[in-house]
Structure 1
Amino acid sequence: MSVVLLQMDITFGNPNQNQRRVEQLFYQAQLQPGEVVILPEMWNTGYDLVRLQEIADHEGQTTQKMLIHLARTYQVTIVGGSVAVEVNGQFFNRTYVVSEEGTILATYDKAHLFGLMAEDRFLSAGNQLAFFTKNDTTFSPFICYDLRFPEWYRLAAQKGTEIYVVSAQWPTQRLQQWRKLLQARAIENQAFVIAVNRVGVDPDNHFPGHSMVIDPLGEILLELDDQEMIARYELDVDQVLPIRGEIPVFRDARPDLYEQICKGEKKNDDVK
């Protein structure tokens, strides 16, 4: 399975310019039918959150129309990074996944909002995992700060996810954490991780890129630098099942024990 990473710069608060840049990257990527193309987080607006009322995509209509057109034109599956959308007066950091035929396969709203970038002030959190299947392989999209919550990833793995797709605007000062957390999520869930981070700057942050492909043993198969670029990697998705069979962490897990301890701690807290 061929995956294509579009590591791009994002113009702060300018959806029209960012849309044109995405279209240019698709044209430049020399895409082949059947590939999976992945974009970074919040590529339509950047983190210009104070202007969401003005610039967020109303019900995601513009983004969906664009991604459907690109998917049909190039005959590829698109994990559309994420965009700022407005729905009934609320704002979400939302991923759309579109099939080669132009069908919306999955929608995911970022579940964990990052206070250091003021998401909790301006955005509403999602509360559902998302899944889609391609070539009998199950994918789940995640967004940036979700990476710090291993429970969320384990739930997806327990429901069959074999490939995690992480779209991000992860700042330079935490680059080493980005790399280690991505590897950890791959190792503990014995799954591939494909992570696409942005490059460039906004008024408050510098973004280092370093988009990656990581195998189920935590080995980095591909790592980009800090420049805007297009990269592709051919995944051997058949690696997942043998690795999960060799070290059966899902079979050996004890969720009933963990739940029992959590309930016990809650009871003790109530007594205190």
Structure 2
Amino acid sequence: MADLTVSFVQASLQWHDPAANRAELQRHIGEISIATDLIVLPEMFTTGFSMDAPQLAETMSGPTVAWMQELAVARDAVIAGSIIIRDEQGSYFNRLLWVRPDGSISYYNKRHLFSIAGEQNVYTAGTERLIEEWRGWRICPLVCYDLRFPVWSRNPMHQPYDLLLYVANWPASRRTAWMTLLRARAIENLAYTMGVNCVGIDGNSLAYAGDSALLDMRGEYLVEVGNQETGITRSLRRADLEAFRERFPALQDADPFELTQSEEVAR
């Protein structure tokens, strides 16, 4: 199968200003000069990590979804990232959108809500994990705090995913955990792993150090960007992934178990 070219944007998010954030992210995306299959944006990329969902939420027919669809068509790539969504019943979700070049959309609602910030008091937790098939690769997108819970990230023994990705607003005060857990998730799941964070200071005076990264299935860094605003593109080699899994097939020795309170959706 073909290699996969992936891009991500690490940016400073303007607090509660969707239009400004879309414009700035579009500028960064425009600087990606080569063809890519996937462009990943941070968590809550239009607003920063906010509990003010009643004022900031959009619907699935709102301006940010339309913007992502336009970008996906223009770049012939999937655009992924999370925003605040209100559904038809009035519930709020920290929802990762997976927008394809044909305009179709899948989504994943963040499962592990950050109770320290009261996220569970505002948003509804997701119940389904998403594994997307895209250009011959199986990709599992998750959101921020999910990184701390290895069972939710666990790679299936049969039909494993190839790329695990996390979009985040992960504070600088916990950057050691971010970097350590990204490596752990890559190693234990024998998968390429991407973490996409933001930089700057948000409206709650929380600082973000970035540290967005792309790691291989050994937990070795392919990309590590520090705290600058940047867009990065790299190619993931299918042959390297398959060769490593053949030499070190640890997934086949994993303990079999199932999560009984959730479902996994593969598309």
**Could you tell me the TM-score, scaled by structure 1's length?**
0.88
Residue 143 of structure 2 is matched in structure 1 by 143
Residue 64 of structure 1 is matched in structure 2 by 65
Q: Which runs of 5+ in 1 are unaligned?
A: 260-272
Describe the superposition over 1:48-77 as per-residue Cα deviations: whole angstroms up to 9, x where unpaired. Answer: 31x311111123532221111011112222
Task: Call closer, same or farther: CA 1:120–1:204 in 2, change over 3 Å.
Answer: farther
Residue 265 of structure 2 is matched in structure 1 by none
State the AA in 1 paired with 2:76.
Q
Describe the superposition over 1:4-34 as per-residue Cα deviations: whole angstroms up to 9, x where unpaired. Answer: 11001111111121122222222222242x4
Distance 2:93 2:8 in 1: 23
State the AA in 2 paired with 1:133.
E
Q: Which runs of 5+ in 2 are unaligned?
A: 260-267
Cα displacement (A) at 1:141: 0.4
- Is 2:28 the partner of 1:25? yes
The 3-state SS of whatever aligns with 2:194 is strand
Choose from 35, 38, 43 the match for 1:36. 38
Instruction: Say whether the 8 Å CA contact 1:216–1:239 is kept in structure 2.
Output: no
Whichever of the two has the greater Rg, that structure is: 1
Residue 216 of structure 2 is matched in structure 1 by 215
Asked which structure has the greater RCO (Cα within 8 Å, sep 6+), the reply is 2
Segment of structure 1 superposing worse, 128-137 or 184-193: 128-137
Residue 161 of structure 2 is matched in structure 1 by 161
Segment of structure 1 superposing worse, 163-172 or 92-101: 92-101
Segment of structure 1 superposing worse, 159-168 or 188-197: 159-168
Distance 1:224 1:254 in 2: 35
The 3-state SS of whatever aligns with 1:152 is helix
The 3-state SS of whatever aligns with 1:165 is strand
Instruction: Say whether the 8 Å CA contact 2:53–2:92 is kept in structure 1.
Output: yes
Distance 1:144 1:238 in 2: 29
State the AA in 1 paired with 2:41.
L
State the AA in 1 paired with 2:18.
P
Residue 16 of structure 2 is matched in structure 1 by 13
Q: What is the aligned-residue RMSD (CA, Å)?
A: 1.8
Segment of structure 1 superposing worse, 196-205 or 153-162: 153-162
State the AA in 2 paired with 1:149.
F
Instruction: Say whether the 8 Å CA contact 2:155–2:189 is kept in structure 1.
Output: no
Task: Call closer, same or farther: CA 1:9–1:156 in 2, change over 3 Å.
Answer: farther
Instruction: Say whether the 8 Å CA contact 1:2–1:234 is kept in structure 2.
Output: yes
The 3-state SS of whatever aligns with 2:43 is coil
Task: Call closer, same or farther: CA 1:31–1:54 in 2, change over 3 Å.
Answer: farther
State the AA in 2 paired with 1:65.
A
Cα displacement (A) at 1:238: 2.4
Larger fraction in helix: 1
State the AA in 1 paired with 2:211.
H
The 3-state SS of whatever aligns with 1:3 is strand
**Pairing 1:1-272 to 2, within 5 Å after superposition:** 1-32=4-35, 34-49=36-51, 51-59=52-60, 61-79=62-80, 81-87=81-87, 88-104=89-105, 106-155=106-155, 158-202=158-202, 203-255=204-256
Cα displacement (A) at 1:176: 1.0
Describe the superposition over 1:133-171 as per-residue Cα deviations: whole angstroms up to 9, x where unpaired. Answer: 222110010100000111111155655211011100011
Task: Call closer, same or farther: CA 1:198–1:150 in 2, change over 3 Å.
Answer: same
The 3-state SS of whatever aligns with 1:12 is coil
Identity %: 30
Distance 2:173 2:245 in 1: 34
Cα displacement (A) at 1:205: 0.8
State the AA in 2 paired with 1:236.
R
Residue 268 of structure 1 is matched in structure 2 by none
Equivalenced residues, count: 254
